[in-house]
Amino acid sequence: MKHIVYLSVLNAAPNATFILAHDHFHTEEYIRVSGIPFTFLRASLYTDNVPQCVSADDVIRAPAGEGRAAWVTRDDIADVAVSILTTTGHEGAAMI
């Protein structure tokens, strides 16, 4: 394998309170120690998940830090992935 492009999550960290960020951190660490060149794409929350975050009382509840989130579309992430896969110079980077 020449290069791993891994779709991670924003703020991946060992002490993350958002469980997916915690899990993605550990996957990133596993990839790092593999010795295979990598690029991590750390996406934010997906726009198509917004309806799942709205409660019956119309309150948005999502892992958004201080109440802010930069929602992204899957098409935007796909465009970034295509760019990463067709260019060089980003090995070892975590792209946000």
Q: Break the chain into its structural domains and give their ranges.
A: 4-95
Q: What is the pLDDT of residue 1?
A: 59
Contact present, 43 and 10 (Cβ < 8 Å):
yes
- For the beta carbon of residue 82, count every other beta carbon within 10 angstroms: 10
In this predicted model, what pLDDT tens digit does every residue of 56-72 receive, in sequence order? 998 888 776 677 778 89
Pairing of the two strands 93-95 and 38-43: parallel
Task: Look at the chain and count its residues.
Answer: 96
Strand partners, 9: 43
Residue 32 has a pLDDT of: 96
Going 39 to 75 to 25 to 65, the CA torsion angle's sign is positive
Hey, is 25 helix, strand or coil? Answer: helix
Give the residue-averaged pLDDT of 81-87: 90
pLDDT tens digit sequence for 3-55: 899 999 988 999 988 888 999 999 999 999 999 999 999 988 888 988 888 89
- Supply the pLDDT for residue 17: 84
Greatest Cα-to-Cα distance within the chain, rounded to the nearest angstrom: 49
